[in-house]
Amino acid sequence: MARISVHVHPGGRKNEVLRLENGVWHIKIAAPPVEGKANIALIEFLSETLGASSRRIIIEKGLTSRRKMVEVEGLAEDEIKKLLQPS
């Protein structure tokens, strides 16, 4: 199980990883930050990108903040780093 720090940029044109800066992943999400839509979209995006079930991805801290601590079960931090590298 790994924990990653994520800074969400909601309301973008598409979902994408922007960069890794000072240990924090900056991820653009197309969904607006309304009624948890950006959180759901973040989990779905991470699930697709990491090849992990969405049930294995949990937002531990920051449900109402742009800065979140996300727990990913079944992957190590180095695996996540390789999979999230911006294209």
Question: pLDDT tens digit string along 6-28?
Answer: 999 999 999 999 999 999 999 99
Q: Indicate which CATH number applies to the domain containing 45.
A: 3.30.1200.10
| Three-state secondary structure of 25-86 | EEEEECCCCCCCHHHHHHHHHHHHHHCCCHHHEEEEECCCCCEEEEEECCCCHHHHHHHHCC
Tens digit of each residue's pLDDT (9 = 90 or more) over 49-79: 999 999 999 999 999 999 999 999 999 999 9
Count of structural domains within the chain: 1
Determine the pLDDT at residue 86: 82
What is the residue range of 48's domain? Answer: 2-84
